[in-house]
Amino acid sequence: MARTLTTQRYPIISPTLPDAEEMEDVIRRSFSSGRITSGEQVEALEYEVSRRVEVRNAVAVSSGTSGLMLLIRALDLPDGSEVITPSFTFAATSHALLWNGLRPVFCDSEPDTFTMDAEAAASLITERTSAIYPVCIFGAPGDIDSYVRLAERHNLALIFDSAQGLGSSYKGRQVGGFGSGEVFSLSPTKVVTAIEGGLVTTDDDYLAEKIRRMRDYGKAEDGEDMHWLGLSARMEEINAAVGRWSLSRIDTWIAARKAIMDAYRERLEGIPGISFQKIPSHGRSSRNYMVILLDPHISPVTRDELYLLLKEDGIQTKRYFYPALHNQRLYSDIEPGCSVRLPVAEMIASRSLALPMYSHMPLRAVDEICYRIITHVSVDG
Protein backbone atom coordinates (compact mmCIF):
# COMPACT_ATOMS: atom_id res chain seq x y z
CA MET A 1 0.00 0.00 0.00
CA ALA A 2 1.32 3.47 -0.86
CA ARG A 3 2.70 5.23 2.18
CA THR A 4 2.81 8.73 0.80
CA LEU A 5 -0.12 11.01 0.21
CA THR A 6 0.11 13.29 -2.78
CA THR A 7 -1.26 16.80 -2.47
CA GLN A 8 -3.94 15.90 -5.02
CA ARG A 9 -7.44 16.50 -3.76
CA TYR A 10 -9.79 13.55 -4.07
CA PRO A 11 -13.33 14.63 -4.94
CA ILE A 12 -16.22 12.44 -3.87
CA ILE A 13 -17.41 12.16 -7.45
CA SER A 14 -16.16 13.23 -10.82
CA PRO A 15 -18.40 12.83 -13.87
CA THR A 16 -16.90 10.78 -16.68
CA LEU A 17 -17.51 12.87 -19.80
CA PRO A 18 -16.72 12.73 -23.52
CA ASP A 19 -14.12 15.05 -25.04
CA ALA A 20 -15.89 18.21 -26.13
CA GLU A 21 -14.86 17.53 -29.77
CA GLU A 22 -16.77 14.25 -29.72
CA MET A 23 -19.96 16.24 -29.23
CA GLU A 24 -19.25 18.83 -31.92
CA ASP A 25 -21.13 17.04 -34.70
CA VAL A 26 -24.24 16.60 -32.63
CA ILE A 27 -24.22 20.20 -31.49
CA ARG A 28 -23.72 21.43 -35.06
CA ARG A 29 -26.53 19.21 -36.39
CA SER A 30 -28.89 20.19 -33.65
CA PHE A 31 -28.16 23.93 -34.00
CA SER A 32 -28.51 23.90 -37.77
CA SER A 33 -31.77 21.94 -37.68
CA GLY A 34 -33.17 24.28 -35.05
CA ARG A 35 -34.38 21.29 -33.03
CA ILE A 36 -32.37 21.88 -29.90
CA THR A 37 -34.72 20.13 -27.52
CA SER A 38 -36.82 16.93 -27.72
CA GLY A 39 -35.28 15.98 -31.07
CA GLU A 40 -33.54 12.94 -32.57
CA GLN A 41 -31.00 12.60 -29.76
CA VAL A 42 -33.71 12.57 -27.10
CA GLU A 43 -35.73 10.02 -29.06
CA ALA A 44 -32.64 7.84 -29.53
CA LEU A 45 -31.79 8.01 -25.84
CA GLU A 46 -35.33 7.00 -24.92
CA TYR A 47 -35.19 4.09 -27.33
CA GLU A 48 -31.79 2.91 -26.11
CA VAL A 49 -32.79 3.09 -22.45
CA SER A 50 -36.06 1.25 -23.06
CA ARG A 51 -34.10 -1.50 -24.89
CA ARG A 52 -31.53 -1.79 -22.15
CA VAL A 53 -34.07 -1.82 -19.31
CA GLU A 54 -36.47 -4.01 -21.32
CA VAL A 55 -39.38 -1.73 -20.64
CA ARG A 56 -41.93 -0.50 -23.16
CA ASN A 57 -41.39 3.21 -22.57
CA ALA A 58 -38.68 5.59 -21.41
CA VAL A 59 -39.55 9.29 -21.24
CA ALA A 60 -36.63 11.71 -21.03
CA VAL A 61 -37.08 14.68 -18.71
CA SER A 62 -35.01 17.53 -17.34
CA SER A 63 -34.04 15.84 -14.05
CA GLY A 64 -34.77 12.93 -11.77
CA THR A 65 -36.74 15.26 -9.53
CA SER A 66 -39.00 16.50 -12.32
CA GLY A 67 -39.43 12.86 -13.43
CA LEU A 68 -40.62 11.87 -9.96
CA MET A 69 -42.92 14.89 -9.74
CA LEU A 70 -44.45 14.06 -13.12
CA LEU A 71 -44.78 10.31 -12.58
CA ILE A 72 -46.50 10.81 -9.24
CA ARG A 73 -48.77 13.53 -10.62
CA ALA A 74 -49.68 11.38 -13.61
CA LEU A 75 -50.87 8.58 -11.32
CA ASP A 76 -53.61 10.85 -9.90
CA LEU A 77 -53.24 9.62 -6.33
CA PRO A 78 -55.94 11.00 -4.00
CA ASP A 79 -55.12 14.44 -2.56
CA GLY A 80 -53.56 14.23 0.88
CA SER A 81 -53.25 10.46 0.80
CA GLU A 82 -50.28 8.70 2.39
CA VAL A 83 -47.30 7.27 0.58
CA ILE A 84 -44.90 4.89 2.32
CA THR A 85 -41.30 5.77 1.56
CA PRO A 86 -37.94 5.39 3.31
CA SER A 87 -36.52 8.06 5.57
CA PHE A 88 -32.99 7.03 4.60
CA THR A 89 -32.90 8.50 1.10
CA PHE A 90 -32.20 11.75 -0.71
CA ALA A 91 -34.69 14.55 -0.10
CA ALA A 92 -35.85 14.69 -3.74
CA THR A 93 -37.68 11.39 -3.15
CA SER A 94 -40.13 12.89 -0.71
CA HIS A 95 -40.03 16.44 -2.14
CA ALA A 96 -41.88 14.96 -5.12
CA LEU A 97 -44.65 13.87 -2.75
CA LEU A 98 -44.99 17.28 -1.10
CA TRP A 99 -45.10 18.96 -4.52
CA ASN A 100 -48.05 16.69 -5.29
CA GLY A 101 -49.94 17.36 -2.06
CA LEU A 102 -49.24 13.85 -0.71
CA ARG A 103 -48.11 12.89 2.75
CA PRO A 104 -44.88 10.91 3.16
CA VAL A 105 -45.05 8.19 5.80
CA PHE A 106 -41.45 7.41 6.61
CA CYS A 107 -40.47 3.78 6.79
CA ASP A 108 -37.43 2.16 8.36
CA SER A 109 -34.62 0.50 6.40
CA GLU A 110 -32.87 -2.85 6.43
CA PRO A 111 -29.64 -2.62 8.43
CA ASP A 112 -27.49 -4.47 5.88
CA THR A 113 -28.73 -3.32 2.46
CA PHE A 114 -29.99 0.12 3.71
CA THR A 115 -33.06 -0.31 1.47
CA MET A 116 -36.67 0.09 2.61
CA ASP A 117 -37.78 -2.65 5.01
CA ALA A 118 -40.79 -4.34 3.39
CA GLU A 119 -42.11 -5.71 6.69
CA ALA A 120 -41.96 -2.29 8.29
CA ALA A 121 -43.76 -0.90 5.22
CA ALA A 122 -46.53 -3.48 5.65
CA SER A 123 -47.10 -2.31 9.24
CA LEU A 124 -47.62 1.30 8.05
CA ILE A 125 -50.45 0.62 5.60
CA THR A 126 -53.74 2.26 6.56
CA GLU A 127 -56.94 3.13 4.68
CA ARG A 128 -55.25 6.44 3.81
CA THR A 129 -52.32 4.77 2.01
CA SER A 130 -52.32 5.21 -1.76
CA ALA A 131 -48.82 4.09 -2.78
CA ILE A 132 -45.58 2.39 -1.82
CA TYR A 133 -42.50 4.25 -2.93
CA PRO A 134 -39.16 2.46 -2.35
CA VAL A 135 -35.74 3.72 -3.39
CA CYS A 136 -32.71 2.09 -4.97
CA ILE A 137 -30.09 2.96 -2.34
CA PHE A 138 -26.60 3.77 -3.71
CA GLY A 139 -27.48 1.33 -6.52
CA ALA A 140 -28.77 -1.55 -4.38
CA PRO A 141 -32.29 -2.62 -5.29
CA GLY A 142 -34.52 -3.42 -2.32
CA ASP A 143 -36.71 -6.45 -1.73
CA ILE A 144 -38.73 -5.85 -4.90
CA ASP A 145 -40.78 -9.08 -4.75
CA SER A 146 -42.05 -8.15 -1.29
CA TYR A 147 -42.88 -4.59 -2.38
CA VAL A 148 -44.81 -5.94 -5.38
CA ARG A 149 -46.72 -8.45 -3.22
CA LEU A 150 -47.58 -5.73 -0.72
CA ALA A 151 -48.81 -3.32 -3.37
CA GLU A 152 -50.91 -6.04 -5.06
CA ARG A 153 -52.40 -7.31 -1.79
CA HIS A 154 -53.52 -3.81 -0.77
CA ASN A 155 -54.26 -2.50 -4.25
CA LEU A 156 -51.70 0.28 -3.99
CA ALA A 157 -49.64 2.06 -6.63
CA LEU A 158 -45.97 1.08 -6.63
CA ILE A 159 -43.48 3.74 -7.71
CA PHE A 160 -39.70 3.40 -7.56
CA ASP A 161 -37.18 6.15 -7.09
CA SER A 162 -34.35 4.48 -8.98
CA ALA A 163 -32.42 7.73 -9.44
CA GLN A 164 -29.17 5.91 -8.58
CA GLY A 165 -30.17 2.61 -10.17
CA LEU A 166 -29.56 2.71 -13.93
CA GLY A 167 -27.56 -0.49 -14.53
CA SER A 168 -28.77 -2.22 -11.35
CA SER A 169 -30.77 -5.41 -11.62
CA TYR A 170 -32.97 -7.61 -9.46
CA LYS A 171 -33.13 -11.38 -9.99
CA GLY A 172 -31.73 -10.94 -13.47
CA ARG A 173 -34.14 -8.19 -14.50
CA GLN A 174 -33.01 -4.61 -15.00
CA VAL A 175 -34.22 -2.06 -12.49
CA GLY A 176 -36.61 0.28 -14.33
CA GLY A 177 -39.31 -2.20 -15.29
CA PHE A 178 -41.03 -2.73 -11.94
CA GLY A 179 -44.20 -1.25 -10.49
CA SER A 180 -46.29 1.43 -12.20
CA GLY A 181 -43.17 3.37 -13.08
CA GLU A 182 -39.59 4.11 -12.10
CA VAL A 183 -37.40 7.17 -12.37
CA PHE A 184 -33.67 7.40 -13.12
CA SER A 185 -31.53 10.48 -12.64
CA LEU A 186 -28.83 11.43 -15.15
CA SER A 187 -27.31 14.18 -13.01
CA PRO A 188 -23.51 14.60 -12.79
CA THR A 189 -23.31 12.38 -9.69
CA LYS A 190 -24.76 9.35 -11.47
CA VAL A 191 -22.95 6.50 -13.25
CA VAL A 192 -24.68 7.47 -16.51
CA THR A 193 -24.94 11.22 -16.81
CA ALA A 194 -26.53 13.53 -19.37
CA ILE A 195 -24.96 16.52 -17.51
CA GLU A 196 -28.46 16.91 -16.07
CA GLY A 197 -31.53 14.88 -16.88
CA GLY A 198 -33.88 12.12 -15.87
CA LEU A 199 -35.89 9.24 -17.33
CA VAL A 200 -39.28 7.87 -16.43
CA THR A 201 -39.66 4.22 -17.39
CA THR A 202 -42.94 2.34 -17.52
CA ASP A 203 -44.68 -0.52 -19.30
CA ASP A 204 -47.91 1.48 -19.23
CA ASP A 205 -48.25 3.14 -22.65
CA TYR A 206 -50.99 5.53 -21.55
CA LEU A 207 -48.99 6.66 -18.52
CA ALA A 208 -45.91 7.20 -20.70
CA GLU A 209 -47.84 9.28 -23.22
CA LYS A 210 -49.38 11.34 -20.44
CA ILE A 211 -45.94 12.06 -18.93
CA ARG A 212 -44.60 12.90 -22.42
CA ARG A 213 -47.31 15.57 -22.63
CA MET A 214 -46.86 16.66 -19.03
CA ARG A 215 -43.13 17.29 -19.51
CA ASP A 216 -44.29 19.88 -22.07
CA TYR A 217 -46.70 21.81 -19.79
CA GLY A 218 -49.48 19.24 -20.21
CA LYS A 219 -50.38 20.19 -23.79
CA ALA A 220 -52.67 17.94 -25.79
CA GLU A 221 -51.57 16.62 -29.18
CA ASP A 222 -52.80 19.76 -30.93
CA GLY A 223 -50.18 21.73 -28.99
CA GLU A 224 -52.74 24.27 -27.78
CA ASP A 225 -55.26 22.80 -25.42
CA MET A 226 -53.93 22.03 -21.95
CA HIS A 227 -55.11 18.61 -20.83
CA TRP A 228 -52.99 18.11 -17.73
CA LEU A 229 -51.08 20.11 -15.18
CA GLY A 230 -47.54 19.75 -16.44
CA LEU A 231 -44.11 21.25 -16.10
CA SER A 232 -41.53 22.65 -18.43
CA ALA A 233 -39.27 19.62 -18.07
CA ARG A 234 -38.07 18.65 -21.53
CA MET A 235 -34.59 17.30 -22.22
CA GLU A 236 -32.20 19.15 -24.50
CA GLU A 237 -30.46 17.51 -27.45
CA ILE A 238 -26.97 18.12 -26.08
CA ASN A 239 -27.90 16.46 -22.80
CA ALA A 240 -29.37 13.48 -24.60
CA ALA A 241 -26.23 13.12 -26.76
CA VAL A 242 -24.00 13.09 -23.66
CA GLY A 243 -26.44 10.66 -22.03
CA ARG A 244 -26.19 8.29 -25.03
CA TRP A 245 -22.40 8.44 -24.99
CA SER A 246 -22.51 7.66 -21.28
CA LEU A 247 -25.12 4.89 -21.57
CA SER A 248 -23.12 3.06 -24.23
CA ARG A 249 -20.27 2.65 -21.71
CA ILE A 250 -22.36 1.70 -18.70
CA ASP A 251 -21.15 -1.90 -18.36
CA THR A 252 -17.48 -0.91 -18.55
CA TRP A 253 -18.04 1.70 -15.89
CA ILE A 254 -19.97 -0.54 -13.55
CA ALA A 255 -17.16 -3.11 -13.87
CA ALA A 256 -14.60 -0.38 -13.09
CA ARG A 257 -16.64 0.69 -10.06
CA LYS A 258 -16.87 -2.89 -8.88
CA ALA A 259 -13.08 -3.16 -9.02
CA ILE A 260 -12.79 0.10 -7.05
CA MET A 261 -15.33 -1.06 -4.49
CA ASP A 262 -13.61 -4.44 -4.15
CA ALA A 263 -10.31 -2.65 -3.59
CA TYR A 264 -11.86 -0.44 -0.89
CA ARG A 265 -13.37 -3.48 0.81
CA GLU A 266 -10.18 -5.49 0.64
CA ARG A 267 -8.21 -2.70 2.29
CA LEU A 268 -10.81 -1.77 4.92
CA GLU A 269 -12.19 -5.24 5.70
CA GLY A 270 -11.55 -6.22 9.29
CA ILE A 271 -10.76 -2.68 10.47
CA PRO A 272 -12.60 -2.50 13.81
CA GLY A 273 -15.75 -0.36 13.57
CA ILE A 274 -15.95 -0.27 9.75
CA SER A 275 -18.70 -2.13 7.88
CA PHE A 276 -20.13 -1.97 4.36
CA GLN A 277 -23.45 -1.88 2.56
CA LYS A 278 -24.47 -5.39 1.58
CA ILE A 279 -25.33 -5.87 -2.06
CA PRO A 280 -28.09 -8.53 -1.98
CA SER A 281 -27.09 -11.75 -3.75
CA HIS A 282 -30.22 -11.55 -5.92
CA GLY A 283 -29.28 -8.09 -7.14
CA ARG A 284 -26.62 -6.25 -9.10
CA SER A 285 -25.77 -2.70 -8.05
CA SER A 286 -24.88 0.19 -10.33
CA ARG A 287 -22.36 0.98 -7.57
CA ASN A 288 -23.28 4.63 -7.62
CA TYR A 289 -21.72 5.27 -4.21
CA MET A 290 -19.15 3.54 -2.00
CA VAL A 291 -20.49 3.91 1.53
CA ILE A 292 -19.01 2.69 4.79
CA LEU A 293 -20.57 2.68 8.25
CA LEU A 294 -18.45 3.67 11.22
CA ASP A 295 -19.60 2.24 14.56
CA PRO A 296 -18.90 4.85 17.27
CA HIS A 297 -18.89 2.13 19.96
CA ILE A 298 -15.93 0.40 18.36
CA SER A 299 -14.02 2.99 16.35
CA PRO A 300 -11.87 5.53 18.25
CA VAL A 301 -13.18 8.24 15.92
CA THR A 302 -16.78 9.00 15.06
CA ARG A 303 -18.10 9.29 11.52
CA ASP A 304 -18.20 13.09 11.87
CA GLU A 305 -14.61 13.21 13.13
CA LEU A 306 -13.41 11.01 10.28
CA TYR A 307 -15.27 13.22 7.81
CA LEU A 308 -13.37 16.27 9.12
CA LEU A 309 -10.00 14.50 9.32
CA LEU A 310 -10.28 13.34 5.72
CA LYS A 311 -11.33 16.81 4.66
CA GLU A 312 -8.07 18.13 6.13
CA ASP A 313 -6.25 15.47 4.09
CA GLY A 314 -7.87 16.81 0.91
CA ILE A 315 -10.22 13.82 0.65
CA GLN A 316 -13.81 14.80 0.09
CA THR A 317 -16.40 12.49 1.64
CA LYS A 318 -20.10 12.94 2.21
CA ARG A 319 -22.34 12.12 5.16
CA TYR A 320 -24.88 10.47 2.95
CA PHE A 321 -27.80 10.36 3.45
CA TYR A 322 -27.70 12.65 6.45
CA PRO A 323 -29.77 13.77 8.28
CA ALA A 324 -32.39 11.08 7.62
CA LEU A 325 -35.42 12.81 6.12
CA HIS A 326 -37.59 12.69 9.26
CA ASN A 327 -34.89 14.76 10.97
CA GLN A 328 -34.73 17.44 8.27
CA ARG A 329 -36.46 20.72 9.13
CA LEU A 330 -38.88 20.55 6.20
CA TYR A 331 -40.12 17.13 7.30
CA SER A 332 -39.83 17.34 11.08
CA ASP A 333 -43.47 18.46 11.57
CA ILE A 334 -45.02 15.77 9.42
CA GLU A 335 -45.05 13.13 12.10
CA PRO A 336 -43.27 14.32 15.26
CA GLY A 337 -41.97 11.38 17.24
CA CYS A 338 -41.74 9.03 14.25
CA SER A 339 -38.04 8.48 15.03
CA VAL A 340 -39.02 5.77 17.55
CA ARG A 341 -40.02 3.52 14.69
CA LEU A 342 -37.02 4.44 12.55
CA PRO A 343 -34.07 3.15 14.61
CA VAL A 344 -32.24 1.66 11.64
CA ALA A 345 -32.57 4.80 9.50
CA GLU A 346 -31.27 6.83 12.47
CA MET A 347 -28.37 4.44 12.98
CA ILE A 348 -27.31 4.33 9.32
CA ALA A 349 -27.67 8.09 8.84
CA SER A 350 -25.45 8.76 11.87
CA ARG A 351 -22.74 6.30 10.75
CA SER A 352 -22.64 6.41 6.95
CA LEU A 353 -19.86 8.03 5.01
CA ALA A 354 -19.63 8.00 1.22
CA LEU A 355 -16.03 7.76 0.00
CA PRO A 356 -14.62 9.08 -3.31
CA MET A 357 -15.91 6.93 -6.16
CA TYR A 358 -16.12 7.56 -9.89
CA SER A 359 -15.78 5.44 -12.97
CA HIS A 360 -12.32 6.68 -14.04
CA MET A 361 -10.88 6.73 -10.51
CA PRO A 362 -7.42 5.11 -10.40
CA LEU A 363 -6.96 2.24 -7.93
CA ARG A 364 -3.91 4.09 -6.63
CA ALA A 365 -6.32 6.68 -5.20
CA VAL A 366 -8.07 3.93 -3.23
CA ASP A 367 -4.72 2.97 -1.68
CA GLU A 368 -4.04 6.50 -0.54
CA ILE A 369 -7.55 7.12 0.76
CA CYS A 370 -7.61 3.81 2.66
CA TYR A 371 -4.19 4.48 4.11
CA ARG A 372 -5.52 7.75 5.53
CA ILE A 373 -8.70 6.14 6.83
CA ILE A 374 -6.80 3.31 8.51
CA THR A 375 -4.42 5.79 10.12
CA HIS A 376 -7.30 7.83 11.51
CA VAL A 377 -9.35 4.92 12.84
CA SER A 378 -6.44 3.02 14.35
CA VAL A 379 -6.32 3.31 18.14
CA ASP A 380 -2.71 4.48 17.95
CA GLY A 381 -3.29 6.38 14.66
Interface with ligand PLP (CB under 6 A): 63-65, 89-90, 92-93, 135, 161, 163-164, 185, 187, 189, 198
Based on CB atoms, which residue is closest to ligand PLP, 109 or 187?
187
DSSP string, 261-306: HHHHHHHHTT-TTEEEPPPPTTEE-----EEEEE-TTTSSS-HHHH
Name which of 97 and 301 has its Cβ closer to ligand PLP: 97
Shortest distance in whole angstroms from residue 330 CB to ligand PLP = 15
Question: At its nearest, how many Å lie between ligand PLP and the CB of residue 68?
Answer: 6
- Residue 381 Cβ, how far from ligand PLP at the closest point, in Å? 32
We find the least distance from the C-beta atom of residue 233 to ligand PLP, in angstroms, to be 10
| Smallest separation, CB 185 to ligand PLP (Å) | 3
C-beta closer to ligand PLP: residue 235 or 294: 235
Residue closest to ligand PLP (Cβ): 64
Task: Closer to ligand PLP by CB, 86 or 177: give it.
Answer: 86
DSSP 206-259: HHHHHHHHHTBTTB-TTSSSB-S---B-PPBHHHHHHHHHHHTTHHHHHHHHHH
Residues 216 and 60: beta-carbon distance below 8 Å: no
C-beta of 145: minimal distance to ligand PLP in Å?
21
DSSP state letters, 28-77: HHHHHHS--BSSHHHHHHHHHHHHHHT-SEEEEES-HHHHHHHHHHHTTP
3-state DSSP percent of the chain in helix, strand and coil, to 5:
40, 15, 45
Q: Cβ closer to ligand PLP: 183 or 377?
A: 183
Choice between 183 and 263, CB closer to ligand PLP: 183
Of 80, 94, 71, 73, the closest CA to residue 130 belongs to: 80
With H, G, I as helix, E, B as strand and everything else as coil, classify residue 105. strand
Does residue 321 have a cis bond before it (omega within 30 degrees)? yes
